[in-house]
Amino acid sequence: MDPVRNPYSPGAGTRPHALVGREAELEAFDIAVQRLAIGKSSKSMLLTGLRGVGKTVLLNEFGLIAADRGWIHEALEANDEINFPRAMATLARKSALRISAGKRTGARFTKILGVIKSFQITWKIPDGGSIDVEPFAGISDSGVLDADLGELLVELGELARERDRGVLFTLDEMQYLSKEQLAALVQAFHTVAQRQVPVMLTGAGLPTLHGLIGAARSYAERLFDFPDIDSLSPQAAAAALDQPAQDEDVKWDAAAIDRAVEVTGGYPYFLQEFGKQAWDVAPGPEIITRQDIDDAIPIAVAELDSGFFRVRIDRTSDSERLYLRAMAQQGRGPYTSGSVATALDKTTRQLGPVRDGLIKRGLCYSPRWGEIDFTVPMFDEFVRRAMPEA
Ligand SMILES: Nc1ncnc2c1ncn2[C@@H]1O[C@H](COP(=O)(O)OP(=O)(O)OP(=O)(O)O)[C@@H](O)[C@H]1O
Ligand SMILES: [Mg+2]
């Protein structure tokens, strides 16, 4: 059918035509924003889940909800080289300027600029000469990140409250932050919560994030919920395929939908990819049949193999690949580190660095002590296709 009208959208953070199955998270977020806006306490959310389940899409959606309520939304994506103090200072500065667009005067506005300045000096962040104020002595200048960040965010919150606004930070790929950075972030938002200013953090990361944050600050559970973002239920998965087509006056055969839901396991990225290919191969004009999805499966798999899956192993070393293969050869995970070591004729201690490397680069995670699994759904099948027995 006409590829121009194809309504499916495989991609990183690409808003799906039909965002289904996330009603609970969206509602919980909307309630949390409204509570914070009237000075009531509220837990925020840190979304955890595998690759391609829709975490980034949800964060973006949170940003739109907050904007609808008159809040400022600033987004940040972490990576393993991030200069965290600098990134936070930039977010604070941008937010302060946006909150006060139209009225860049007043004591609070001057104060936040001074506080940002003192934070920048303390953390050796070049400000590009854009903030022409004296540093505010005594706030955000202790050299202890937890405290300096907390004070910075509280000042920002005071400005937001004065202007009847709020600020939402969305922080994606949070598993890349170090333990110290996560600890500082949690502590800072703990301070923000105590002062009840309208500044909110929601974030997302791989399943490891929950454990990382818990280890960084034990009271994180009191500040954040950790909803597990997972594959869609069969009903929601069917809707994710059906609704976009319906809006283009195209129908899916029930058998075609069933088959697509089965092969994708209800994973959002795969639903978009298989939906897209089924649409393109279907002669149409108004229906996608079981035959069409069967024809589309090899095309969609090839597409995933050369893109979504392939990029994950592009920068891996030989020993990492051997490790991945030893995992995948055991079928679906999770796997025990011991069984992988046995398969490779090594000890778990010898393989420790390889295992840690795979976790650090976000390809694997440890669901429990002594266990390991892929962070990418159905990755075991890909590894068996891409790296058959030597
Ligand atoms: N609820 C949903 N219903 C249908 N499609 C969805 C849904 N959520 C996300 N998608 C689609 O799934 C794909 C992946 O979404 P997204 O990039 O947000 O995932 P992610 O969890 O952030 O992945 P990663 O961990 O790789 O960053 C996108 O193509 C998006 O359009
Ligand atoms: Mg993402």
136-158 tens-digit pLDDT: 989 999 999 999 999 999 999 99
Q: Is the CB of 333 under 6 A from ligand 1?
A: no
- Nearest ligand 1 atom to the CA of 50 is 25
Q: Given this model, what pLDDT does residue 80 score? A: 87
Ligand 1 pocket, residue 149 CB under 6 Å: no
Q: What is the mean pLDDT of residues 77-93?
A: 94
| pLDDT average, residue stretch 195-215 | 94
pLDDT at 280: 97
Cα of 44 to ligand 2 centre, how many Å? 18
Residue 238 scores a pLDDT above 70: yes
Whether residue 127 is predicted with pLDDT greater than 80 in this model: the reply is no
Residues of the chain above pLDDT 70, percent = 98
Predicted local confidence at residue 273, as pLDDT: 98
> Residue 177: is its pLDDT beyond 80?
yes
Q: Name the CA dihedral angle for 94, 99, 102, 108, rounded to a multiple of 10 degrees.
A: -100
Cβ–Cβ under 8 Å, residues 177 and 84? yes
pTM for the whole thing? Answer: 0.95
What separation in Å is there between the alpha carbon of 294 and the centre of ligand 1?
23
Q: How confident is the model at residue 180 (pLDDT cuts 50, 70, 90)?
A: very high
Q: Is 243 in the pocket of ligand 1 (CB under 6 A)?
A: no
Region 60-85: what's the mean pLDDT? Answer: 96
- Please answer whether residues 45 and 28 qualify as being in contact, where contact means their C-beta atoms are separated by less than 8 angstroms: yes
Ligand 2 center–CA 26 separation, angstroms: 17
pLDDT, position 97: 93
- Ligand 2 centroid to residue 270 C-alpha, Å: 14
User: What is the mean pLDDT of the segment spanning 185-193?
Assistant: 95
162 pLDDT band, cuts 50/70/90, is very high
Can you list the domains of the chain with their CATH numbers?
23-225 (3.40.50.300), 235-312 (1.10.8), 315-386 (1.10.10.10)
Supply the pLDDT for residue 388.
83
Number of H helices, E strands in the chain: 17, 10
Q: Which atom of ligand 1 is nearest to the CA of 58?
A: 18
Q: Give yes or no for residue 390 having a pLDDT over 70.
A: no
Query: pLDDT of 66-75, one tens digit each?
Result: 999 999 999 9
Any idea which ligand is nearest the CA of 54?
A: 1
Q: Which alpha helices (H) appear in 84-178, and where do they start and end? A: 84-99, 107-122, 145-162
C-alpha count within 13 angstroms, C-beta hemisphere, residue 298: 2
pLDDT number for residue 315? 87
Specify the DSSP class assigned to residue 218: T
Please say whether the beta carbons of 220 and 213 come within 8 A: yes
Whether residue 131 is predicted with pLDDT greater than 80 in this model: the reply is no
**What pLDDT score does 370 carry?**
94
> What is the 13 CA–ligand 1 centroid distance (Å)?
6
Residue 241, ligand 1, Cβ within 6 A: no
pLDDT at 352: 96
Ligand 1 pocket mutation pick from 50, 56, 233, 310 by most atoms within 8 angstroms of CB: 56
Assess whether the C-beta atom of 246 lies below 6 angstroms from ligand 1: no
Separation of 50 CA from ligand 2 center, angstroms? 9
Kind plus residue range of the DSSP H or E element containing 73: strand 72-77
Nearest CA to ligand 1 atom 18: 54
Least confident of 38-42, 105-109, 349-353, 386-390: 386-390
Residues 14-30 have a mean pLDDT of 97
275 pocket-lining for ligand 1 (C-beta < 6 Å): no
Q: Is 276 in the pocket of ligand 1 (CB under 6 A)?
A: no
Q: Report how far apart, in Å, the C-alpha atoms of 42 and of each of 112, 194, 195, 197, 298 are.
A: 25, 11, 12, 11, 47
pLDDT at 205 over 80: yes
> For residue 129, is pLDDT > 70?
no
Instruction: Please classify residue 134 by burial: count the beta carbons closer than 10 Å to its beta carbon, then call 0-12 exposed, 13-18 middle and 19+ buried.
Output: exposed
CA distance readout (Å), 251 to 38, 240, 279: 46, 13, 10
Q: What is the DSSP letter of 2?
A: -
**Gap from CA of 51 to ligand 2 centroid (Å):** 7
pLDDT for the residue 101: 86
Alpha-carbon distance of 90 to 80, in angstroms, equals: 18
Say if CB 266 and CB 251 are below 8 A apart: no
Distance 194 CA to ligand 2 centre (A): 30
> What's the whole-number average pLDDT of the chain?
94
> For ligand 1, atom 24, which residue shows the shortest CA distance?
51
The predicted pLDDT at position 130 comes to: 67
Q: Which residue has the tokens 């069967």?
A: 294
| pLDDT level of residue 389 (50, 70, 90 thresholds) | confident
Q: Tell me the C-alpha distance between 257 and 250, whole Å.
A: 13
